[in-house]
């Protein structure tokens, strides 16, 4: 019994000693002129996130900001022995209003800060995508393909090849009609091919039923701000802008003009990327040394 009491006493002393040591270290650190300077300057080097822009039922993605990681920065500066902004470490800050909170909104474009556009191709049951893929590959451009369920069933090898080339395959429903059972089935097929959850639906006009169905499946609904019709190149030259989600019907006119369209977009200085990356609320480029940012 006596030995047990002694062990308990020793354990209590160790705990209190550890607590006292930690408290002492924290007190010393907080009084360190380097820590005081860091605390005073941290806001100067932090960058606020940009909230997603909501206009009624529409949304445009926000962008993550960054804030100074005080603890990580302090230990970097302590090793250096003086304050140096190049030694600061950062963590990302999500926008308060973001896509994850707004599945019930239509995404109409990407954030203009990215200077990016996406090319979206609608693939119906009998669509021939061979030439489109050849042109994209020749131009070294990656695009997004919303693929009809019947096309997916009949052309699984071609869809798989599309994914291997770095293009993005997304769920177009069955002739752009989504229903509760088939949306899950088609998502599962695409996910097995792509190792990535297809998280977007597609509409060309507001449709509450589709919006709710996709929202319930944790999918975001795209309503492109630029839906190209019979004159693809003219439509692009007249309407393309930073952030555009550009939707195409695959037909002979598009195939004849696609190379010119890509050239024009690139000459305008815009990047071209797949929908998922374009709409990603990534970290602002000014957060160059953000150690936990994407």
The crossing angle, in degrees rounded to 10, of helices 70-80 and 33-45 is 130
pLDDT at 294 over 90: no
pLDDT, tens digit, 9 for 90 and up, residues 82-98: 888 888 899 999 999 99
- For residue 204, what is the DSSP state? S
pLDDT at 292: 56
- Cα dist from 115 to 79, 203, 245, 272, whole Å: 39, 24, 12, 9
Lowest-confidence region among 3-7, 36-40, 125-129:
3-7
The rounded distance, in Å, linking the Cα atoms of 279 and 294 is 13
pLDDT at 192: 86
Q: How confident is the model at residue 263 (pLDDT cuts 50, 70, 90)?
A: very high
Lowest-confidence region among 9-23, 140-154, 204-218:
9-23
- Cα dist from 125 to 60, 67, 83, 155, whole Å: 31, 49, 63, 9
Q: For residue 66, give the 3-state DSSP assignment.
A: strand
pLDDT, tens digit, 9 for 90 and up, residues 50-84: 999 999 999 999 999 999 999 888 888 888 888 88
| pTM metric for this prediction | 0.84
User: Which letter, b or e, does each residue of 53-72 get, where b requires 16 or more Cβ atoms within 10 Å of its Cβ?
Assistant: eeeeebbbbbbbbbbbbeeb
Q: How confident is the model at residue 198 (pLDDT cuts 50, 70, 90)?
A: confident
Mean pLDDT of all residues in 163-192: 90
The rounded distance, in Å, linking the Cα atoms of 137 and 166 is 10
pLDDT, tens digit, 9 for 90 and up, residues 95-137: 999 999 999 999 999 999 999 999 999 999 888 999 999 999 9
Lowest-confidence region among 38-47, 58-67, 144-153:
38-47
pLDDT at 194: 76
Helix (H) or strand (E) holding 170: strand 168-171
């Amino acid at each position: 019994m006596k030995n047990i009491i002694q062990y308990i006493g020793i354990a209590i002393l160790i705990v209190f000693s550890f607590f006292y040591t930690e408290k002492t270290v924290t007190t010393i650190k907080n009084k360190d002129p380097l820590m005081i300077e860091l605390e005073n300057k941290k806001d100067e080097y932090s960058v606020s996130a940009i909230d997603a822009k909501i206009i009624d039922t529409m949304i445009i993605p926000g962008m993550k900001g960054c804030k100074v990681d005080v603890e990580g920065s302090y230990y970097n500066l302590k090793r250096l022995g003086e304050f140096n902004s190049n030694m600061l470490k950062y963590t990302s800050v999500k926008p308060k209003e973001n896509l994850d909170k707004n599945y019930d909104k239509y995404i109409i474009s990407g954030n203009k800060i990215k200077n990016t556009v996406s090319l979206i191709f609608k693939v119906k049951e009998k669509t021939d995508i061979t030439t489109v893929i050849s042109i994209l590959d020749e131009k070294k451009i990656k695009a997004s393909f919303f693929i009809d369920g019947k096309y997916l069933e009949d052309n699984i090898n071609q869809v798989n090849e599309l994914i291997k080339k770095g293009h993005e395959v997304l769920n177009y429903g069955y002739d752009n009609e989504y229903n509760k059972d088939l949306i899950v089935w088609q998502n599962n097929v695409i996910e097995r091919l792509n190792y990535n959850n297809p998280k977007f639906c597609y509409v060309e006009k507001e449709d509450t039923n589709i919006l709710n169905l996709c929202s319930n499946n944790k999918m975001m609904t795209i309503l492109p701000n630029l839906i190209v019709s019979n004159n693809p190149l003219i439509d692009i030259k007249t309407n393309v802008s930073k952030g555009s989600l550009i939707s195409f019907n695959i037909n002979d006119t598009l195939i004849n003009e696609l190379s010119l369209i890509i050239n024009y977009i690139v000459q305008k200085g815009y990047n071209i990327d797949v929908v998922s990356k374009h709409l990603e609320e990534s970290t602002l480029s000014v957060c160059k040394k953000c150690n936990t940012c994407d």
